[in-house]
Amino acid sequence: MTASASAPGVDTSGNPAQLLARFSRIRHQTAALAAHLRPEDTVVQSMPDASPTKWHLAHTTWFFEQFVLGRDEAYVSANPQWHYLFNSYYQSVGPMHARPQRGLLTRPALDEVMDYRQRVTDAVSELLARGDDETLPAIVELGLQHEQQHQELLLTDIKHAFSLNPLAPAFLPDGPRAVTAAAPALAYVPFDEGVIEIGYAGDGFHFDNEEPRHKIYRQAGFIANRPVTNAEYRAFVLDGGYRTPGLWLSDGWATVQSERWTRPFYWDESLDSEFTLQGRRAIDPHAPVSHVSYFEADAFARWAGARLPREGEWEAAAAQLPIEGNFQESGMFHPRAIESSAPLLQMYGDVWEWTMSPYVSYPGFAPLTGALGEYNGKFMCGQWILRGGSCVTPQDHIRATYRNFFPPHARWQFSGIRLGNDR
């Protein structure tokens, strides 16, 4: 995951003590998530797209060291070689260790990385407490938003690693579980034709890819009241969805063939149970389906006689709603069903929702200046937009205008489906 903030768009008028408390809370939360693991768990890399927990712990720290502490020319890193290890993709600040080989880094050891975290946390806290640099809050806030993104990745990456272990370890074996609930019947909410505005406008934090707010023309259409459920997706599987080429985009069908996909990523062959961060458990038919790729979401929609929403349609619908839902804070780390007669359910939390919109810049987009300009803009090729956050996204990290993006074959994130329709 990648993202960026525009410094002018960050509200720096808040109380410095609040930012210091927020800094401490978010840094602590990352370590608290990692504390559920054994040291051996934190080293493994299960695929090139996923990173070891230890790497996430170090990289989020490197980000503060590079972009906050490193602004002082007199700053000297205690471990200059680690810059190479824990830079992710910022080419303009130097070369980096190859991403697929992050799992080879048995050194530095976990306790050394935790010491590194503490040192950098202390140094940044000291700068914040001093309060004499008015440009500091914006860059610290960006580092915190970045760290929250990596909290989500830490969870999705360890889920992937654990799923490949025949012992099927549970990240949180005794975590809270959702109460049983029956999802409401699928219904469509209509919207009118006309010019609408999307994108971020305001003084709060946002990434550069959410700007500028701009007009789009929206045709009349419909958006589904809730995400697609496991039961609905199971019906697609049982109807031969994965064996019917006419339902798939050409690239999607090629991927189904080459990867031998027959069901969502963590489902067992029986279609009755799935691997979760609480271990293997029965699939809740009413809960939103998750861990499907864009290709699968698109094929399901075609099978269902529908389509995926466009990102502007999604944003206009979500902008009316409070940002509430099943986020990382629930501790469930899994999508859940809810029973409600509200017109639009679960727009936020539970699962990221694929849209049919490619990840491209908004008219007038300007990336951040300097190395942080690499955060978002350079990934605007070959990826698709997802909206709304998931059950492992921190609640205060998400907005109606938030644009997440992944390649169309990716399915190790908590990615699900909300249908749209033209009629």
Question: Which residues are at the interface with Fe ion (CB under 5 A)?
Answer: 88
308 residue type, one letter: L
Q: Min. distance of Cβ 156 from Fe ion in angstroms? A: 14
Q: Min. distance of Cβ 63 from Fe ion in angstroms? A: 6
Tokens of 10: 């960050």
Q: Min. distance of Cβ 375 from Fe ion in angstroms? A: 8
Q: How far apart are CA 419 and CA 36, in angstroms?
A: 36
Q: Phi/psi of residue 408, each to 5°?
A: -70, -15
- Our CB check for Fe ion shows the closer of 88 and 326 to be 88
Q: Min. distance of Cβ 199 from Fe ion in angstroms? A: 23
- Our CB check for Fe ion shows the closer of 267 and 406 to be 406
**Look-up: residue for tokens 């293997």?**
280
Q: Min. distance of Cβ 61 from Fe ion in angstroms? A: 11
- Our CB check for Fe ion shows the closer of 6 and 88 to be 88
Q: How far apart are CA 138 and CA 325, in angstroms?
A: 27
- Our CB check for Fe ion shows the closer of 75 and 89 to be 89
Residue 43 gets which letter from DSSP?
A: T
Q: How far apart are CA 385 and CA 374, in angstroms?
A: 18
Q: Min. distance of Cβ 45 from Fe ion in angstroms? A: 15
- What's the longest Cα–Cα distance across the chain? 65
Q: Min. distance of Cβ 43 from Fe ion in angstroms? A: 19
- Our CB check for Fe ion shows the closer of 151 and 278 to be 151
Quickly list H helices, 219-276: 230-238, 250-259
- Our CB check for Fe ion shows the closer of 96 and 249 to be 96
Closest residue by Cα to residue 287 from 333, 242, 237, 240 = 333
- Our CB check for Fe ion shows the closer of 88 and 346 to be 88
Q: How far apart are CA 369 and CA 192, in angstroms?
A: 38
**Look-up: residue for tokens 């389906």?**
289
Q: How far apart are CA 273 and CA 284, in angstroms?
A: 9
Q: Min. distance of Cβ 110 from Fe ion in angstroms? A: 19
Let me know if 342 is exposed, middle or buried by CB neighbors in 10 A (0-12, 13-18, 19+).
Answer: exposed
Q: How far apart are CA 222 and CA 99, in angstroms?
A: 41
DSSP output for 308-322 = PPPHHHHHHHHTTS-
Residue 100 gets which letter from DSSP?
A: G
Q: Min. distance of Cβ 279 from Fe ion in angstroms? A: 28
CA 264, 268, 269 angle in degrees (round to 5)?
A: 95
Q: Min. distance of Cβ 296 from Fe ion in angstroms? A: 26
Report CA-CA distances (Å) from 326 to 74, 205, 291, 300: 44, 22, 16, 24
Closest residue by Cα to residue 206 from 67, 397, 335 = 397
- Our CB check for Fe ion shows the closer of 154 and 277 to be 154
- Our CB check for Fe ion shows the closer of 93 and 172 to be 93
Report CA-CA distances (Å) from 376 to 145, 146, 366, 367, 396: 13, 12, 10, 8, 20
